[in-house]
Structure 1
Amino acid sequence: MLLLLLAYFGGILTILSPCILPVLPFVFARSDQPFRKSGLPLLAGMVVTFALIASLATVGGGWAIRANQFGRAAALVLFGIFGLTLLFSSLAERLSRPFVRLGNSLSQTSGEGPSVANSFLLGIGTGLLWAPCAGPILGLILTGAALGGASAHTTVLLLAYAAGAATSLTLALLAGGRVFSAMKRSLGAEEWIRRILGVAVLAGVVAVAFGLDRGVLTRLSLASTSGLEQRLVDRFHPQNDQMMARNPQGTPVSSEMTGDALSQINGATAWINSPPLTPESLRGKVVLVDFWTYSCINCIRSLPYIKAWYAKYKDDGLVVIGVHTPEFPFEKDEANVQKAVRDLGVLYPVAMDNDYRIWRNFNNQYWPAHYFIDATGHVRYHHFGEGNYDESEKWIRGLLEEANHKPLPDAATQVAATGAEAAASDDTQSPETYIGYERAQNFASPDGFNQDDVQLYRVPAKLQKNQWALEGNWLDEGQIATSLAPAGSILYRFHARDLHLVLGPAKDGKPIRFRVTLDGKAPGADHGVDTDAEGYGTVTDNRLYQLIRQQGAIQDRTFRIEFLVPGVQAYAFTFG
């Protein structure tokens, strides 16, 4: 219920979001018509179409996105005709009979009043234009569907989000109708209003057709709700939420899984460092289940503690299972995971969870997530995200003492992590940023993304903090961007000690040479473990690359990475 309300409120905020701007002309073009027969069916059509397209996207992936592009094109044609009939009433008479009938029907030129069916059809077209809008709350819904599988619950959440947006548009439409009526009574300007609306509709068509709804309008918008939406997500769905209950002795226990957790470990697609582990083989052991994926910087920074606990307590009965649940497609490749396990020095069993079965069994939502299971098979404690390592080790020791009926020597584990595994800086102000358009935010290249198609990208004159841009010929897809020509670059204005970028070599496996700069200069002492002082490095594997580690005071810096040959695959920035 809480997530349902959050989705509805996030939809209400859409009226303030840049992504709604191209839709407004089509909505307000009906503001002088009776709301029940015109505005309400239009909004209903928007809601239904938006929820349907978004639901299909969670099921069908790329094909649904491409299908929506055809829908957008059809909607643009429809609204082009609608706008022209509003602007030039005489033009409708010169069009062929079917288009005259459609244009006059949609623009309500007949004396019979607005048609509910036609208004609903217009709403469907508007919904096709609106469907690509996304913010953190909508992203949370779609990510949950992608990880947990599409369901009726997902569709209900999407309907709640769309209904929230329709609520705010309804209020604006009703207010707009009163304003229009007053203007007509006082000025007798109905024909001019029609023409102004026609110009607005055609301007909206042009904006959508040329991608200005994703580019220029974003930068010109007076308000963006992404920050407020993200705070709502963090407030009601926090990443470090412990969700604790208490047992009769007052000891914290997990409230999410009260049954036998060992039986939920079944479902791995492969095992690394171990034969398949079964509930029977784990009975009587204290088990730490660590959900991770090898390109996740938060997971990498927690690994030194997991590895240290395994080395220290394995002889006392601790079993550590790293459940590797992939985020990107390359993390499903067993050879890639085996190499990462070797390179990261992971010696304990790793279960590959490519089908997300173990993830769903635990009702998990986070990387990393640590579940502490006692000798009877029950989760007694869990922690999401980095940190809280002292408390986690206390739980390991307590569960082992409980299982072995004897105390352990009182000595906390000392961990000195280096490189990418070192703890994040307290002054990290830049968020994880995806390069693929499905989850991308703060993209600043003029004209926005050309989704699933090649485009020559440019950088703006100036990047604001946490804005980024592509330069050169790139193909940007849902999760990945591929450079298609030499000198393709990515720029990011960031504030953090460390900058990482998840990269992969060319599809044929050929290494990609690159160079990075900070504020136009070689990084020098501020280079990362995967670059030298001159900024040079090579992409050889699909993984996370640490490119920058500032040695002095942390400040806003402009990062640039130039790939000297085409073919690189870029996924996501992370910071620390």
Structure 2
Amino acid sequence: MGISLAEIIQATIAGFVSFISPCVLPLIPAYISYITGETLSELKSGETSTKKLLINSVAFVLGFSVVFILLGATATFVGKFLSRNKKLFEFIAGIIVIIFGLHTAQIVRFNFLGYEKKMNVRTSTPSLLKAFLMGFAFSFGWTPCVGPILGTILIMAGTHSQVLQGIILLTFYSLGLGIPFVITALAINKFFDAFKAIKRYFGQVEMFAGLLIIGIGLALVFGLGLHSDYIVATIIVSIGFAILSISKVSLRDAIGILTILGATYLALQVKFIDTGKINLNLVPFVLLLFAGIISMYKVGRQNE
């Protein structure tokens, strides 16, 4: 089975969410300052050479992209050896992905996923090579946000049998993370104002990423396939819950929303059990809705 459009969209979104995550976005000015050799005040003034910003930021992006893509190729290579037990591998991988999602969506916090490793690369004079090495080092910064998201995409890559498919997935993940970085570098003087607006919604960013990850994990556990319409629905549901959580959310609100969703399913005559068998296409989606309600309630309480 080849790479589906849904998987490419997921990988790209995952890269972008990694970029705007609370673990990465606040550090972007520091990285740009490092790779250009300019101070933050000089970057704010807009006097930095556009050519320098473009070239050095692209070199930085290439640095971390090389590592991510190699990880994708390795994950797919390992997946080939597990192909004989594909269903078991996908089930176990799905459980791991769900754990990632529960942590990211703030439903359950796992201390081991809060581990962070940093690599410090010191230099005095910026250059293309040093910007590349900085990007290379950045890829090993396993932060609480990027770790689960990247890990999920790597597990997706591992479900494929061809190395090229893993490379493609991680290439789009890198594009989702790298393109916003380059754009930010070119408009760094405007970044600081935009950051103030985005900072307010870090909880929603984590919630969206977490629910999307949970949705992918449930698809693996129930064998729905990552190419199905279910994944597109997962993306939409994750966005919806993240938007709803912007306002103050009480437990009563959460129960009310869940009740309305349940009534909607009954109105559409969707059957949980048909001809004596459980509708496996519906169960994971319902479980995702429950996860969304819990996450929305917890994130919404932070707005009180």
Taking structure 1 as the reference length, the TM-score comes to 0.26
Which protein is richer in helix relative to its size? Answer: 2
Taking structure 2 as the reference length, the TM-score comes to 0.46
> Which structure exhibits the higher relative contact order, with contacts defined as CA atoms closer than 8 Å and separated by 6 or more residues?
2
